[in-house]
Amino acid sequence: MTEQHFDALIVGAGFGGIYQLHKLLSLGLSAKVIDFAGDVGGTWYWNRYPGAMSDTESFVYRYSWDTEDLQSYPWSHHYVKQPDVLKYLEHTVERHGLRKHMQFNTEMVGADWDDEAGVWRVEVNTGEVFVVKYLVTALGLLSKANYPDIPGIETFQGNMCHTAKWRTGLQFENKRVGVIGCGSTGIQVITDVASKVKTLACFQRHPQYSVPSGDGPVSDEYRDFVNQNYTEIMRQVRDSVCGFGFVESKTSFRSVPVEEREDIFEQLWQKGNGFRFMFGGFSDISTDREANEAACKFIRKKISQTVKDPEKARKLMPHDYYARRPLCDGGYYQQFNRENVSIVDLKDTPISRITPNGIETSDGNVHELDVIIFATGFDAIDGNYNRVRIRGRDGKTLKQHWEPAGPTSYLGVFVPEFPNLCMITGPQGPFSNIPPAIELHVELISAMIERAEQRRRESDSPGQNVIEALPEAEKAWIQECESAAEGSLFKETASWIFGNNVKDKKVALRFFFGGLAKYCKAVQDIINNGYRGFRPLGGERTSAET
């Protein structure tokens, strides 16, 4: 068993791990990134399914900290597709000389805190053990694939693939293809493959509301404008609620005259983007039932205008709240005008089993297929944490800590009794565009580590210089998250955000819904108040003593 010693081990080589590595190296620390994958990319390494793209616009789906790169790195369209994002992350790693600090095909299997030595001992699948002061987990919000539990799945004689573990080279052209799931991923796959396959059967349990993405090539003038305003754009992102690069509306639905409301929805529809549609025209689509229903009605109208077959249109129309993570697409509903594309409404005829030839529904019909694509989502947020042993002070595992109430944290980053464990986008982090949320976490973690290291150098009791959230701080943050979600229709709508999508998973609030600006302010307040909520570092006085 080989031991490797570093100041920090970072688990995950996606957006979070890459930036964290860069930050820690620039602080003069020794650090290593490991990843189960064969190369960099995180989510974007695995999700290579046809049509995969970010639903955040290109200009804000990137790091803000490398100004020169921000202004010079090319992007051709308003949305970046999976190969573009992967290339961008590879480019960032090369540009900053990070690859030599990374080790791939290496999976964390367990991590134990050694309280006496003040280190984490991290076991990986290669037999090595990493002994580090800081363990930073950049495991990704959406990385553990959720496979459906359908009887007979193992008997299927065609090809099966989950979108989040896409096998490049999987042949679907001119084949009979079935897609299970119509969330963000399902609609992207369906939109992309519909014209390439022989037949496409879309197995849909709950239809979702989707609006156009508004994708298209970027003009030189647009790019010049963005470049000239990048500093202000990135400042606004942090000062906004969702960080999608537009200003959220402060206008309530009811304050707008009835005859003007439809125009606003139409403008949002034309402009594109799911988050803009939900938050850019009215302030209360996700909180006011009447406003929400008006948005639903508008989208349903668009579905009925787009989809020519009234029966297909009926099946595609959602009737629950518009309160899941908002979707956008590049022509999803239009695909159902193709003769070869059908929709199987699983509310009418649930799947009974998978047979060697296809999928059998409760009406006895076997939908014959050559390929089944599972677009069935993720065991999100805590899924990746619960499958490994992470043992903190006194031998308690993170899983045990989270068992009673669901996954909790202080600021989405720190957990009491787990010293020097720092999670990038852990549970109860901001519900927003992901890169800015990641940056905020990396910057907070780096500042905390820098402070602990400084104290360690100054103090004669280095073992005590650990970053550790206090239990009361975690409780207070849970409370903050609860209040921020108060009145949100998201809370009344089942989705992966609360863990409803995975059998036996604890249903709990997994995000801070207060927005990026409030999150930044909360962090700043904590720092300004003597790092409130953290165990004092060795030699420091507690707030009760000062």
Residues lying near ligand NA7 in the complex (CB under 6 A) are found at 142, 148, 180-186, 203, 205-206, 325, 346, 375-378, 496, 501
Minimum distance of ligand NA7 from residue 56's CB (angstroms): 9
Q: Which is nearer to ligand NA7, 70 or 502 (CB)?
A: 502
Minimum distance of ligand NA7 from residue 510's CB (angstroms): 12
- Using CB positions, name the residue nearest to ligand NA7: 183
Q: Which is nearer to ligand NA7, 272 or 536 (CB)?
A: 272
Report how many helices (DSSP H) and strands (DSSP E) the chain contains, helices first: 16, 22
The answer to whether the CB of 61 falls within 8 A of the CB of 244 is no
Please give the C-alpha separations between residue 356 and each of 128, 174, 369, 373, 375, in angstroms, as whole numbers.
42, 19, 9, 15, 20
Minimum distance of ligand NA7 from residue 203's CB (angstroms): 6
Q: Which is nearer to ligand NA7, 16 or 377 (CB)?
A: 377
Q: Which is nearer to ligand NA7, 148 or 462 (CB)?
A: 148
Q: Enter the tokens of residue 39.
A: 């190369």
Please give the C-alpha separations between residue 305 and each of 55, 262, 295, in angstroms, as whole numbers.
24, 15, 15
Minimum distance of ligand NA7 from residue 205's CB (angstroms): 3
**395: burial class by Cβ within 10 Å (0-12, 13-18, 19+)?**
exposed
Minimum distance of ligand NA7 from residue 71's CB (angstroms): 27
Minimum distance of ligand NA7 from residue 375's CB (angstroms): 6
Q: Which is nearer to ligand NA7, 133 or 324 (CB)?
A: 324
Q: Which is nearer to ligand NA7, 237 or 537 (CB)?
A: 237
Q: Enter the tokens of residue 8.
A: 């920090």
Minimum distance of ligand NA7 from residue 222's CB (angstroms): 25
Q: d(Cα 272, Cα 213) in Å, to the nearest integer?
A: 4
How crowded is residue 514: how many other Cβ atoms within 10 Å of its Cβ?
Answer: 18
Angle between helices 230-238 and 220-228 (to 10 degrees): 70
Q: Which is nearer to ligand NA7, 199 or 425 (CB)?
A: 425
Q: d(Cα 243, Cα 246) in Å, to the nearest integer?
A: 8
The answer to whether the CB of 104 falls within 8 A of the CB of 70 is no
Polymer length in residues for the chain: 546
Distance of alpha carbon 129 from the chain centroid: 29
Q: d(Cα 215, Cα 433) in Å, to the nearest integer?
A: 17
Angle between helices 15-26 and 434-458 (to 10 degrees): 30
Minimum distance of ligand NA7 from residue 33's CB (angstroms): 23
Q: Enter the tokens of residue 32.
A: 């290593």
Q: How many CA atoms lie within 13 A of 369 on its CB side?
A: 30
Alpha helices, DSSP H only, in 140-288?
184-193, 220-228, 230-238, 258-271, 274-279
Q: Enter the tokens of residue 59.
A: 């200009």
Q: d(Cα 397, Cα 525) in Å, to the nearest integer?
A: 30
Minimum distance of ligand NA7 from residue 366's CB (angstroms): 16
The answer to whether the CB of 13 falls within 8 A of the CB of 41 is yes
Q: Which is nearer to ligand NA7, 136 or 187 (CB)?
A: 187
DSSP-assigned letter for residue 536 = P
Q: Which is nearer to ligand NA7, 32 or 62 (CB)?
A: 62
Minimum distance of ligand NA7 from residue 202's CB (angstroms): 10
Q: Which is nearer to ligand NA7, 17 or 186 (CB)?
A: 186
Minimum distance of ligand NA7 from residue 19's CB (angstroms): 19
Q: d(Cα 206, Cα 183) in Å, to the nearest integer?
A: 9
- Sequence letter at residue 383: G
The answer to whether the CB of 184 falls within 8 A of the CB of 325 is yes
Q: Which is nearer to ligand NA7, 63 or 203 (CB)?
A: 203
3-state DSSP call for residue 289? helix
Minimum distance of ligand NA7 from residue 189's CB (angstroms): 9
Q: Which is nearer to ligand NA7, 27 or 145 (CB)?
A: 145
